[in-house]
């Protein structure tokens, strides 16, 4: 073999090794870019999912405004709203035919930090009116609980009841 042939073979081998190295480097770069692309696609998918969730919650908030306002009406908004509650109860008493007296009104804070207004009422009237007013107190549209009910017959036509109830406050 002549020197020029040997030189051409060495040159061809060097070029082939350089080509293989360049091809390997390009494959490495393409795989790295592919991983970056996959990470970007995953981030975009997470962003789209968050955006969809936000839009869904926003739409749901707009669609359920009336229901949320109705639910909010079942709670006293603060201690001052207890005046409205008492006015409502005191306004219902004459309609049913009982004489109502509010005997106590206190604020209770439970261990879990929930607040309740504790109200005690004494009312009298006919047996049917007293029973009807107790049922009315039980079904008031508030988150409430009746703590105690004591009913006594004062005479054949006059009955008296002492009711203690708690109404939930939200803040």
pLDDT digits (tens, 9 = 90+) for 17-26: 999 999 999 9
Q: Each residue of 103-131: pLDDT tens digit?
A: 888 888 888 888 888 889 999 999 999 99
pTM over 0.75: no
Give the residue among 53, 93, 136, 81 at the shortest CA–CA distance from 72.
Answer: 81
Helix axes 65-72, 3-63, angle to 10 degrees: 50
**Distance (Å, whole) CA 134 – CA 78:** 25
Q: Each residue of 134-165: pLDDT tens digit?
A: 999 888 877 788 889 999 998 888 999 999 99
């Amino acid at each position: 073999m002549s020197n020029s042939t040997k030189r051409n073979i060495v040159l061809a081998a060097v070029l082939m090794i350089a080509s293989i190295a360049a091809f390997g480097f390009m494959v490495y770069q393409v795989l790295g870019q592919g991983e970056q692309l996959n990470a970007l696609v995953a981030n975009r998918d997470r962003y789209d999912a968050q955006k969809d969730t936000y839009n869904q919650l926003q739409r749901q908030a707009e669609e359920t405004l009336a229901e949320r306002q109705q639910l909010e009406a079942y709670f006293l908004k603060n201690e001052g709203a207890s005046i409205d509650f008492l006015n409502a109860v005191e306004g219902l008493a004459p309609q049913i035919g009982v004489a109502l007296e509010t005997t106590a009104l206190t604020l209770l804070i439970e261990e879990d930090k929930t607040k309740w207004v504790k109200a005690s009422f004494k009312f009298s009237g006919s047996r049917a009116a007293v029973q009807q007013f107790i049922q009315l107190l039980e079904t008031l549209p508030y988150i409430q609980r009746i703590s105690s009910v004591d009913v006594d017959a004062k005479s054949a036509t006059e009955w008296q009841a002492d009711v203690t109830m708690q109404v939930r406050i939200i803040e």
